[in-house]
Amino acid sequence: MVVKRAYHHGDLRRALVLAAREALVERGPEGVSLRGTVAKVGASTAAPYRHFRDKDALLVAVALEGHAELQGCLRACGAGTVTALGHSYLGFAVENPALYRLMSGAGIGDRAAYPELAEAHRVTCAVLAERVGERNDPGGFPVTLWCLLHGLATLVIDGHVESGSAVAEAERSLAFLADARG
């Protein structure tokens, strides 16, 4: 009698996220598929559905990992000055352009179906607020800072602003906002 053993991959969820992240870097979100990631890790075609209901759920898992990494960069960036935060934020975005875009929802069909993605955005902004010493006002200046850094990161990734001047641009813009705010 032949006994058929169940296939067990180990940490399949993690392996799928890593494979999806590689595909994201190589081909963008449209190049990520459950079939492709499962083939890369060598599991059965049904296996990913134990962890992800569809491609969007897999992409959200990758985006959440990116948010955790960005939050870690912001927490670890020395002094909580705008300059230090700007360097960390922009550095992360420029080093991980496909992941950065995905974190903002690019390539994910119905973002509203994934409240955990909105929560990750909220936490990223809260980390910025904490790092600039505005724990009592997580809106206001931290949101303005996040908007500015996100916009500059996108402009750098798209080649409209040179990465070396992005932090200086952020500082100039923030000074302008501070003057206008009075």
Q: Is the pLDDT of residue 144 over 50?
A: yes
Arithmetic mean of pLDDT over the chain: 85
pLDDT tens digits for range 37-80 = 999 999 888 888 889 999 999 999 999 999 999 999 999 987 66
Tell me what pLDDT residue 4 has. Answer: 40
pLDDT digits (tens, 9 = 90+) for 1-17: 444 444 455 789 999 99
Task: Read off the pLDDT of each residue in 144-153 and give the average, rounded to a whole number.
Answer: 87
pLDDT of 143: 80
Rounded CA-CA distance 54/43 in Å is: 16
Least confident of 14-23, 104-113, 172-181: 172-181
DSSP character string of 95-142? HSHHHHHHHTTTT-S-GGG-HHHHHHHHHHHHHHHHHTT-TT-SSHHH
- 9-52 maps to CATH 3.40.1710: no
Give every CB contact of residue 176 below 8 A, 6+ residues apart in sequence.
none
Query: What's the token pair of residue 115?
Result: 């409240």
13: exposed, middle or buried (Cβ count in 10 Å: 0-12, 13-18, 19+):
middle
Q: Where are the domains of the chain?
A: 9-52, 60-181
Architecture of domain 60-181 in this structure: Orthogonal Bundle (1.10)
Query: How many CA atoms, within 13 angstroms, populate the side-chain half-sphere of residue 127?
Result: 21
pLDDT of residue 163 exceeding 70, the answer is yes
Separation of first and last alpha carbons in the chain: 83
Tell me the whole-structure pTM to 2 decimals.
0.85
